[in-house]
Structure 1
Amino acid sequence: MSDPTEEAAYAAFVEAAWNRHMAVAILLTGDRHRGEELLQDCLVRLYVRWRRAALTDPHAYLRRMLVNGNVSWWRRRQRELPTAEPPDHADPRSGPYERDEDLRRALLSLPRRQRAIVVLRHYEDLTEKAVAAALGCSVGTVKSQHSRAMARLRAALRENQEAAR
């Protein structure tokens, strides 16, 4: 980008949207530090494509980048064969992103596509059509996966409540 007004518009977008998209990245990845890394990588790529993204909806463009970036990371990780898992020092409840621990665990137990659908539908408050566009699937897929995800979340939360009694 060489135009100072475009750079100012990009900087204003990042400043205004950081917290919103950071929370989405954390919910998608299940880890605060991994979420920060994902968002920063996507913002770097968005900077290069700012002219195209700014013409439409930059929030939707970034949201799609976050989902795709998380899927790409997950796929790369599946090909790697780590010899040991690094300790998870991230506390997802720290900072302004506090979440109910049972709900967080239940969300993390969902398959990645179902988790993305639940996060986009309920946290980002997107319509089924907008979620389908963000994930590159049909509205019917969003509906069926959302239904399955909600049933799994209800069951997991019910089990946690019963175990706490």
Structure 2
Amino acid sequence: MDDERRRQLEADPRFAGFVAERGDALLRYGYVLAGNPHDAADLVQEALLKLRASWPRLRAKDNPESYVRTTMARLHTAAWRLRRRELLAWDPPEHGYHDTLPSEDEQAMWETLAGLPRKQRVVLVLRYYEGLRDEEIAAALKISRGTVRSQASRALDKLRSAVGEHIGEGVMSDRGERR
């Protein structure tokens, strides 16, 4: 990158404003994806570096945050592919935002979510946290819709099983019916 372009990037206050305004939300999103604060911070940092390199092209768009979130999901999936096995533990972020302390049921849910395989966790985060449709998830992760559905189904089965064991009663299906 030439010096002139670098000065233009550094002089653009909109990039710094975007990072200041959306940084905490991106860190929370990264935490939900990665399951721990350290990997979440790495995801945010890497995605913002990619955004900064593309800022002249993306600053005119309405939603650079969408670019960053998609980049974070892809980076997370790429890391999963490199490190096939990983042991995650419940470790809340040091500066996270919580309305209240999690109940035992919520704690069990978070521990189970953190223990899911990375691809299953990413699919659930994109579906339920980001509200993406199966087609959008498949495009973001570069996998088929069928893979999205099977990963989501397996993940939900594991969550239902773990929560059902924890609370000792029947669990709900996708439609809210007792099973």
Structures share fold, TM-score greater than 0.5: yes
CA RMSD of aligned residues (A): 2.9
Residue type of the alignment partner of 2:124: V
Q: 5+ residue gaps in structure 2?
A: 1-5, 170-179
How far, CA to CA, are the matches of 2:17 and 2:8 in structure 1? 14
Q: Does 1:113 align with 2:129?
A: no
Larger proportion of helix: 1
How far, CA to CA, are the matches of 1:16 and 1:75 in structure 2? 31
Aligned match of 2:91 = 91
Aligned match of 2:142 = 136
Q: 5+ residue gaps in structure 1?
A: 80-84
Answer 1 or 2: higher relative contact order, Cα 8 Å, separation at least 6: 1
* Structure 1 segments of 4+ aligned residues over 6 angstroms from their partners: none
What pairs up with 1:41-120 in 2 under 5 angstroms? 41-54=46-59, 56=61, 57-77=63-83, 91-92=91-92, 94-98=94-98, 100-120=106-126
Q: What is the count of residue pairs matched by the alignment?
A: 155
Say if 1:4 and 1:46 are closer, same or farther in 2 by CA, change over 3 A.
closer
Larger Rg: 2
Query: Quick check: 10-19 or 146-155, which moved more?
Result: 10-19
Residue type of the alignment partner of 2:91: D
- 8 Å Cα contact 1:106-1:156 kept in structure 2: yes
- 8 Å Cα contact 1:107-1:153 kept in structure 2: yes
Distance apart, 1:47 and its partner CA: 0.6
- 8 Å Cα contact 1:63-1:134 kept in structure 2: no
Identity percentage of aligned residues: 33
Residue type of the alignment partner of 2:128: H
Distance apart, 1:111 and its partner CA: 1.3
